[in-house]
Amino acid sequence: MATTQELESKLALLDQQMDQLIKDHPDDGDFWCAFAGLADEIGDEANPDQYDWAQERIDAILRKHGKAVPGDLPPSDC
31 confidence band (pLDDT: 50, 70, 90)? very high
Span 4-9, mean pLDDT?
Answer: 97
Q: What is the pTM of this model?
A: 0.86
Q: How far apart are CA 51 and CA 1, in angstroms?
A: 11
CA distances from 27 to 23, 32, 60 (A): 9, 9, 21
pLDDT digits (tens, 9 = 90+) for 48-66: 999 999 999 999 999 999 9
Other beta carbons less than 10 A from residue 70's beta carbon: 13
Report, in angstroms and rounded to the nearest whole number, the Rg of the chain calculated over CA atoms: 12
What is the structure's pLDDT at 68? 77
Q: How far apart are CA 42 and CA 72, in angstroms?
A: 20
Q: How far apart are CA 31 and CA 35, in angstroms?
A: 6
Is pLDDT above 60 for 72?
Answer: no
Span 17-40, mean pLDDT?
Answer: 94
